[in-house]
Structure 1
């Protein structure tokens, strides 16, 4: 009797916007094998994963031979890199600042309610989800509204569901996105445990940190798959980014004040839940800060105060760019000084904007371009389009690009006006190693010209070298403020 593979893919072809992504792709996954799949941004990793899960149409053959005797559900579960939640009326029309407006947050389900619905749909026992919640540090989020969660917390919710269900085939796109170091370690332990119970894994990841049950490696390149038994045999070779930084970004920002941020005993609460407790923090012009803390420690809320988005900033002693918050300046006055990128901002960005328009909108701090640019500013947009290697895509919709390239577009938008303060909240989520190196190289170049930076990053090995100070939050409080040596961290 011939041996039959668990997953058999033959002559698979998939195109996106008339561009061939997968070309006569062949891949066999045998029973008991757990894989990591990687490749450069846009190589087709997510498209292949969705095709295996039956979520994307493709030409060719995909056969999955589920085990009828297994106690595990005979299904493929695909965990997307982003979680697309909806409000109670089934609509996903949210805006960026809505997360911080507690009255409107009641419009979405709580984490507990979402898990109850999933458990009923899949026929799962609720007592079996508790150990997973505990291991991922997610037990305290039961009453949180979906809209209140950060990107890392949304990722945890998806992972909790997947680990609870334990399907015969589990495909996870970017499993470590937004997770702190402790959560990554515990996730790898949980993935190992379910693999021991018979779940087969395909992880789409460029990360080095993997569960020990992974023993097969695959890379997509030019629409084809190369497979190996070791990572090194499929390791992508990256060329160093040697384009010269645009001239207008070589100039030092013009500072309105030597004091960029000053917080005095700042407190933020939602009802009885205190998110920030007696925060004292000062950022001077030209300083480069690393902001860290476990998921749920208060980092996103702290940044929302700095960028003017949080309504409770008026009730606190908070100074931004030399002015006390509430002294007459508008949110747009504050944003003129700031370039911002965050996973949440990416979620809510204008889906109808082209690449060029998205970058240009950074001049006006809007989520799309609603006015004509003068020649000088148009030329600066063109320079950044060229610098980031986006020339061929400049007239395409932002949402039509692979996730990593979308992030590069928004990174370009962040720096287009050479702002006094760069807020980079996990800026390299979704980027491949080459793009991460390129962006951090750019941050280092900008910092040499005197720009102020607040950088949020969980992966110490993927940080720019210019960072010189660190603040660490724990349960809403400042745990550490110290000078930083990136070489020691790495």
Structure 2
């Protein structure tokens, strides 16, 4: 087949597209060139199917522009499938028809809705539908219905083919056949697919678009009312050229963290932390004040952190965020002149700093600067069992197993023996968070964990924090000052202001 010249570039310029009151695609900037084949992917609820449908002209353009949409689009999706079934079921309405409708036969559904009857016939045979041509469309199984829709789309000579989860519900032989057929038409038909599984991505895909849920900072009024004005929102976080191997691998890792069923690995039963009183808060500050001479950094702060109560601490530079953290960890000299209760200890009553620190996992940019030893990814995680930088004590088989489970969660299981100092800055940060979590500390303090990270690596770190917050044993204290880096599992917020 000759390369297609019918389709010009499709351009979405700062486009906001609404789908009733349910969902809105927000400020989408995206260009699809005629020779490109895209996969749209992302977390559940991020708008993958909505963006695919928008390319078929579905949705209302509220702002920005959408240009270059082709006249003939082949769209296969669960939504279109459901609409076709619903139309068929209407024919059973006894108030409208005097006789029971047999429904539209498969042959009519295919051959009266295609441009290339010869191709449709070939595909009917390839998909194994020859014996079903006289059967009513609504009597087909879900997989058979999907096959009919694929044949209709492929035989309609589309200028653009949009396939939303095209491989779901297909048996192995049909899946192989469909992928081979799609590969045979890549020179003539640009394709856009929605896929959740990266391992199903065909080799001919050239680019990937990653969507994420929009994370606007709710107003105080919205928090009180629980408003969800305008429904959910999705945004195009970034696009990746498949030839960019490093960026493509980072995207794979992000999707793994976002969609994997893996949970936070269990703690090592041979290295259990002392039990804490479940009736006591983890941290309680009463009228905590930090000042240097006449300069007050923190003024009369009351703050209680209960078990399982994840917090985000934010504020401008100089507002005292790090000072407050150091009161909790015992690293600030004024922690003994304040009324501070931490993990059952009243500060200043004879406890050692190590009695406090054993219950805390801590990650910061400063720690990453200090972690300069040349050791493997696995050993970085294992070092968390010993609170050391590097491993100087022989680890147990179970500790190595747990470290490997963390690497699996991070999408890094094939990189266990790679040297830590050769990794990207973002991968190093992920490993240090795993190191802090390996003992399942009651409190995990993440001090500006996204500092210095590019957008992709920031998303990776945020995804890991969300995964940790979904667990039950560790309370997360997350420090940042960027509203766009909110974590959906964190409902408690403390904002510090400058007092000078």
Q: TM-score of the superposition, structure 2-length normalised?
A: 0.45
Q: Which has the larger radius of gyration?
A: 2
